[in-house]
Structure 1
Amino acid sequence: MLKRAFLSLIFAGAFVVTACQPGQKPDQKTGAPAAVKTITIATIAYNYEGKTVYNGATQVLIDQGWLAGELKKRGIALKFEGVSGAVGGPQINEGFAAKRIDFALYGDFPALIAKSGGVDIRDLISTGQGNDAYLVVRNGLNVKSIKDLKGKSIAIHRGRPWELTFQKLLDANGLKLTDFKIYNLNPQAGFAALASGKIDATFTLSEALVQEQKGAGDIIWSTKAAPLSWKMRTGLFARKDFIDANPELTQLVVTAYVKAAQWQSEEANRDVVLQTASRGSIPVDLVAKDYDDPRVDWKNRFSPLVDDFYVEHFKDVADYTYANKLVQNHIAVTDIIDDRFLVPALKDLGLETYWTPQKDGGK
């Protein structure tokens, strides 16, 4: 059995920051906000061959250099804050609350948790059409489905974006959390517990493919066998006070990320995209396997569109987090999604019809 200490781990994904430190001090003579000197963007990052490399579109944006160049013309520096995937949401929420960061790319759950806790942020664009989640069982366990795990132990990092996916899986099979011994563990701790036989299963993202390849367990289910709406979603978020004070700079950032999304979506760049994604220690062939879903073509996988499907997903997350007391206040989607910078970006880049809105959550 797991030691009791596992149960006392901090509910990291649901960390709520309520105290905001002052941001830039106003000009003492005019009272106007001080001019922006640096724009800081936070996102998941990895150490690769002694260097920090960033997740997805952010690394493309860095490599393209367009945003840094445009900001330099205005006397503004561009800074990136790398965040570990193990503590991504809480650390980003802290950064927003302290006004240490201006933008961040991260998931729906922690963003709504921050918003409910009084950190006023807005979701400006989608950063793709969703990430898959996987259910992995330990070696030697003769189970074929989630129903076979009833009464057994499962690790899941509570408050992280894939928790809603897990709940959907339970609901679809007439099950409840109380039907299992749930351990609140981050993915790394969960896999260690799985490999040592201390738990029966773990539910997480693409790291599951690595663990299966290592022989630590077997994947018995993934969202590839579920409606598209079950995938977790991420977006580009920004502090509302920054947006209001700096609409031109916000537009530059949004346009830069749309440019990066277009580059990722081009078939000619597929190999580079997969290689970049693999730097987080997931082999290229497993990244390709994770990305492979016949329902979502390569171009639309990187769609930045804030379509009805995306909005409905956020409504679903808002309802779930409030109903399960992960947040104190129910968040209306209109209070967190703000796509007014997306339309000009698409127009300026000639991409108004480039991506196709997602229309259904069917299998």
Structure 2
Amino acid sequence: MSIGRKRLILKARWFSLLLLSAGLALWAAGCGSSATENQEKTLRIGYQKFGTLSILKARGTLEKRLEPRGVRVEWIHFPAGPQLLEAMNVGSIDIGHTGNTPPIFAQAAKTPLLYIASGVPKPENEAIVVPADSPIRSVKDLRGKKVALNKGSNVHYLLLQALDKEGLKYEDIQPVYLPPADARAAFAKKSIDAWVIWDPYYASAERDLGARTITDARGYTTNREFILASETFVQEREEIILIFLEELKKTTDWFNEHPEETSRLLSKQIGMDVKTVEKAITRSKYGLVPMNNAIVEEQQQIADTFFEAGLIPENIRVKQAVWFGEKSSKERKEK
């Protein structure tokens, strides 16, 4: 089969999956959405179990900041980044956070998103793990093995990079696409050979399941957290975006200085042992930085890798989906 025909088939499959995801998300949005006038006074934030937005939610400072403006904050939980950005694609949320890979898949699927800020590198917070008694000792030993991961998540890129460094192709392993909860169950039952996962699930697997790390992301990827917003929301409510980013920056600075208090707050919110949360939080420092050309280039490299592997249908340009601040918004309006 020719390369051109393969890409046509890939695009057709991608479009079918996109329609299905969009249909499900629209149904969910229809069940829980408010009238338009109420949405204009609500900031809908998609968050995951772990990350800067989870801690912002736990502290409650954003609500206090926006209350005088008559803006209510609605928090919507998602198991992982791909699902969160599907919701953004159909207008169910305004802002969210993911790792480095979900925005690549989402942009390729024409999701109207904008990167509005970046976290600092945290390669220690994701890894490839195996059971303690596994004969697997290195990435090279993954040949022919069942490896669980959340498709399109940050760990997807880690796996590609780790395999490539050892001279392996993606086809040399058996990828098993599972969300974190299902992957954990499969790992505990040893129905998979390895698991590529991020914190706090990574820390939980170490503490509760005795997981052994064969590599983390150091040397493979920066593993940044990205803050994303719908393009429409940025255009129409830029003042809210600026307030949100200011409060988020305060939060990242605060919990770097108060890891124990942060662990207690987050432990109650996500229902996870406080020592596990503390282990995840203290692996590395956190921070929030504006988008810049160097970070965009990092993302472009990831996009190029997935395109070359045939995992996204077109070679996207990441810079087209980046908000560089108020000046960026003015330039977009003039176009």
The bucket for the TM-score relative to the shorter chain is 0.7 to 0.9
Say which SS state the counterpart of residue 58 (structure 1) adopts.
helix
Is residue 115–residue 291 contact of structure 2 (8 Å, CA) maintained in 1?
Answer: no
Q: State the AA in 1 paired with 2:250.
A: K
Cα separation, partners in 2 of 1:126 and 1:291, compared to 1, 3 Å: same
Please give the residue correspondences for 1:106-125 in structure 2 after superposition, counting only pairs within 5 Å: 106-125=98-117
Q: Which residue pairs with 1:8 in the alignment?
A: none
Q: Contact 2:117–2:288 (CA<8 Å) still a contact in 1?
A: no
User: Would the aligned equivalents of 1:194 and 1:217 in 2 still touch at CA under 8 Å?
Assistant: no
Q: Does 1:257 align with 2:248?
A: yes
User: What per-residue deviation string (whole Å, max 9, x for no partner) do you get for residues 211-236 of structure 1?
Assistant: 2333454222222xx32x61422211
Would you identify which runs of 4 or more consecutive aligned residues in structure 1 move more than 6 Å?
Answer: 18-26
Secondary structure at the residue paired with 2:66? Answer: helix
1:327 positional shift:
2.6
Closer, same or farther in 2 for the Cα pair 1:15/1:238, shift >3 Å? farther
Partner of 1:98: 90
Per-residue deviation, residues 117-151 of structure 1 (Å, max 9, x unmatched): 22211011113433522222234322321112323
Instruction: Identify the residue that residue 317 of structure 1 maps to in structure 2.
Output: 302
Matched residues, number: 304
Q: State the partner residue of 1:130.
A: 122
TM-score normalised to structure 2 length: 0.77
Output the CA distance in 2 between the equivalents of 1:262 and 1:58: 13
2:316 corresponds in structure 1 to: 331
Q: 1:329 to 1:210 in 2, by over 3 A?
A: same
Q: 1:80 corresponds to which residue?
A: 75
* Greater helix content: 2
Unaligned 5+ segments in structure 2 are 1-12, 329-335
Give the structure 2 partner of residue 306 of structure 1: 291
Shift of 1:208: 3.3
Q: Which residue matches 1:273?
A: 262
Residue 58 of structure 1, CA deviation = 2.8
Structure 1: 5+ residue stretches without partners? 1-10, 27-32, 46-54, 344-363
| Code of the aligned partner of 2:207 | Q
**Structure 2: which amino acid aligns with 1:99?**
G
1:222 to 216, 220, 234: 216
Match of 1:144 in 2: 137
Query: Distance between the aligned counterparts of 2:171 and 2:254, measured in 1?
Result: 45
1:1-363 matched pairs, under 5 angstroms: 16=18, 36-45=40-49, 55-62=50-57, 65-83=60-78, 85=79, 88-130=80-122, 132-206=125-199, 207-215=201-209, 217-223=211-217, 226-227=218-219, 230-265=221-256, 267=257, 269-279=258-268, 280-292=270-282, 298=285, 301-340=286-325
CA 1:222–1:278: 2 relative to 1, 3 Å: farther
CA change 1:18–1:69 in 2 (3 A) is same
Identity %: 21
Q: Is the 8 A contact 2:56 2:251 kept in 1?
A: yes
In structure 2, the CA distance between the partners of 1:147 and 1:270, relative to structure 1 (3 Å rule), is same
CA RMSD of aligned residues (A): 3.4
Q: Deviations over 1:140-173 (max 9, x none)?
A: 3223211123233222222211111111111111
Instruction: Give the structure-1-normalised TM-score.
Output: 0.72
Cα distance in 1, alignment partners of residues 223 and 58 from structure 2: 26
Q: CA deviation at 1:261?
A: 2.0
Amino acid at match of 1:189: D
Aligned mates of 1:130, 1:15 — CA distance in 2: 31
Q: How far apart, CA to CA, are the structure 2 residues paired with 1:177 and 1:331?
A: 21
